[in-house]
Amino acid sequence: MLYQYIACSESGEIVKGKLTASSEDSIAEMLGVAGYRLINLRPFIPFLSLEKLSAQLFPVKPNDIIMLFRQLALLLESGVNIVTSLELMQEQITNRTLRKVITEVIEDIRAGNQLSVAMSRHPDVFPILACRSLSIGEQTGGLETMLRQVADYMEKEIASKKGIKGALMYPAIALVVTVIVVGVLMFFVIPAFAGFYADLGAELPSITQMMLDLSAILRDNFMIIFLVILIAVALAFIYFRTEDGKYNLDRIMLRIPQLGRVRHLNELSRSARSISLLYAAGLPLTEIMPLVIQGCNNRVMAQALYGVQTEMLKGEGLAKPMSKNRLFLPMMVQMVKVGEETGNLDSSLQAVANNYEAEAQDKTKSLIAMIQPMMTVVIAGVVGVIALSMVSAMYSMYGQAF
């Protein structure tokens, strides 16, 4: 495999390059013999390659990984060795990308690497937290149990993401339908009535005249309005691709009424479950916190966790630093404190995760139930105002005629 590396010489000179080797350890050994200290190493993937294109066309879904972990746990418990287990599952995998990844994992295991190490070389497929958990399972002899725990963890992750997507799906569709309907009315229906009213020469009600003027402005300045919207969207997209933009977007998402609360609860439950999973596996908090921060989807929450980690390294524990940040809700702080005092931190955080997930699901259902009638009223209101302007004009002309 071709690797891309960054290394440092004894004099402090930074060098970059590419080397072909069977494993990452071989690269480190080769550079060490040459007098260089490895800083960064990753598989080299060209900008345009069949492997990269295949991964984009046939992405590996989280459900595929969950099924893989559960089947692997079952086969290992049955006494089948790990290579044979992977080969048996490989025959049943339909996803091309995952099948190729499993082939490389089998080759790495045959070369003497552990399962967690082989999987960690494919971070786009296997989450870092999952690989680290499996590494602990390998060391303690409980790989089958850890595979199931990681699968359970990933299932709950998927459930929380589906809840948010479900809440946003209806308003997104309703917004698109509203824009299309209003566009058809403004650009085709109202102009047809405008010509008819002009031929009659009747005096029109204020609401009708306002709609006709608005329709004329939109039609006459369509390209300008379209370009302004396009530029605004492009600038917003560019800004939210920057680090400051991503951070501010994450902060906005946490402050949106109702939806922000759901995202906040999901982030807390994910963090609590991640710490619980790794702590129960036997990993120390000093190693757990960086992994949890790295796997955090919200940068505001990641910054808060980083602050907790900094205070924790000073000997403050978890509960005390959390109590200083309002992002960590009182129940979580209290449960963490109890867990630290009793030595059952994993159980306490598991209870926190379950509680927040249940609350997030309830709020998501309430949010969906509230959004649907609200969007219906908005759409009906917009279309109703346009229809009212047309009908009132007809009644006005009828009154003037008779």
State the DSSP string of 221-270. THHHHHHHHHHHHHHHHHHTTSHHHHHHHHHHHHHSTTHHHHHHHHHHHH
The C-alpha atoms of residue 38 and residue 8 are separated, in whole angstroms, by 6
CA-based torsion, 236, 241, 246, 250: positive or negative: positive
Over 90: is that where the pLDDT of 337 sits? yes
Task: Place 31 in a pLDDT band, splitting at 50, 70 and 90.
Answer: confident
Place of tokens 């702590």: 279
Over 80: is that where the pLDDT of 326 sits? yes
Phi and psi (nearest 5°) for 91? -65, -25
> What is the residue type of 206?
S
DSSP strand pairing (2-9 vs 36-43): antiparallel
Mean pLDDT throughout 151-166?
80
The answer to whether the CB of 253 falls within 8 A of the CB of 298 is yes
What six digits make up the tokens of 55? 């991964």
- 54-155 against 160-402: fold identical: yes
3-state secondary structure of 170: helix
Phi and psi (nearest 5°) for 367? -65, -45
Q: What is the pLDDT of residue 48?
A: 47
The domain spans of the chain are: 2-44, 54-155, 160-402
Strand order, beta sheet including 2-9: 14-20, 2-9, 36-43
What six digits make up the tokens of 41? 């190493």
Task: Place 20 in a pLDDT band, splitting at 50, 70 and 90.
Answer: low
> Per-residue pLDDT tens for 358-401?
898 888 888 877 877 888 888 888 878 878 877 777 766 666 65
Pick the CATH number of 160-402 from 1.10.1660.10, 1.20.81.30, 1.10.10.10, 3.40.50.1580: 1.20.81.30
CATH architecture of 54-155: Up-down Bundle (1.20)
Q: What is the pLDDT of residue 377?
A: 84
The answer to whether the CB of 68 falls within 8 A of the CB of 92 is no
What is the percent of the chain with per-residue pLDDT over 90, rounded to a whole number? 23
3-state secondary structure of 102: helix
